[in-house]
Amino acid sequence: MSGSSSQFTCNRRILAAAAAMVLAAGTASAQQRAGAVNRGEPDASLAEDASKDHFDANIVISPDGQRYAEIRTVQNQPALVFYSVEDASVAPRAYLIGDIDVSAVLWADDETLILRGEGQEIQQETVAGLQTVQLERWLTFSRKSEKFDVIDVAPQGGRQYTYFFEGSGKLMATTPNSVGDAIFAAPEIKIIRVEASRFTGGSDEVVYSAFKADLERTRKTRLERGSGDTIDWVANANGDIVARIDFDQPRAVDKVFVKRDGQGRFDLKLELPRAADGRRRDRIVGVDPATGALQAWIGKSDGGFDLVGVDQNSGAVSGSLVTDADLVPIGWSFDPAKAAVTAVIHRAGGMIAHYYLDEDLRALQGSLERALGGAPVIITSTSKDGVRAIARVLRSEGGDEFYLYDAASKRLELVSRK
């Protein structure tokens, strides 16, 4: 963070994750806060880590299975392009995104997509002078209005300054039972009231909170406000906040608090120790859609990792969720539509591979790998009924391939190569 003030108090752990930039109050226009877009057209904090590197979303099929979306270069610019699944005679529709690199694209519902944009640069006068700020933002695209907008998940206005949060926050869930909503965790400014004088009426603190975003209006509602120690939140597929994680710095442990009966107060259920150097080794990464147990990424005594379940009522840790004892997990894949880890990442034959927790997805993956010459397959997305899917085939040479698969018609079609 640039600059300091006697009236500014901060949670340095959250600032390290959010990389907040403090700006002189009133200098940022709405467009600068959002980043310019064309209309119509292992270790970091989990807040950053889970939102950046765990989505398998390059080309994605809509929940109803009627179309798929891809980021392509059109007229030397990145564009969001839609293709019809059932009617090849329908021309693709492309919408230019603007001067932003898109690193992830996901369907929130049949008409709305969420994209993560990176690389937007602005120049602002800060308390440390003129600074170039690179922004990372969540965008939304509506097929109805045919326009992009920016999801404002991090409040900017403080008591003394305007704040730019370079990070985009963490996407925890898209909520299929509430069309057009998504659940995020993001830093916000909390104004700390002190004895007022003619010069000051309070100071600012960065806290990490949970929000529901209305994707159509790009507005947010705070669901839970973090304390100065809060570093993470966990939501389920219904969009309910089920757990809060606080960092106990003197003891070097992360405390997992679970919401009692899904509402009301949070009760301490589990403590996750930090590594000797203070890094986060263990973390809660999702909610098992079948059992409701928390999914935890846990470091093992041999230096490896495992994915286990944590009972929300007792805090008891179950055995491994990975049934293949020979597999060595190195990461995970998170699906916001399920608010859950759906696959464990490992290495197979020198290449990255996915082990799916769901037996049906494992069977589909195996069938596709046999049909495509044995190359590793990642299922980037499926329709809600599971009939259609987009599969990414990892090739050691010549770029990866993307296939559309229709289980009803047994159709397997190459749709893109990257």
The token pair that represents 366 in the structure block: 């195996």
At 261, is the pLDDT very low, low, confident or very high (cuts 50, 70, 90)?
A: confident
Mean pLDDT of 284-300: 94
pTM: 0.80
Q: What's the pLDDT tens digit per position in 44-62? A: 232 333 334 456 557 999 9
DSSP codes of every residue in 87-153: -TTSPPEEEE--S-EEEEEEESSSSEEEEEEEEEEEEEEETTEEEEEEEEEEEEEETTTTEEEE---
pLDDT of 52 reads 40
Tell me the C-alpha to C-alpha distance, in Å, between residue 26 and each of 125, 158, 373.
11, 10, 59
Closest to 146 (Cα-Cα) out of 188, 105, 93: 93
Q: What's the pLDDT tens digit per position in 84-137? A: 998 878 899 999 988 778 888 999 999 999 998 876 565 666 556 666 665 678
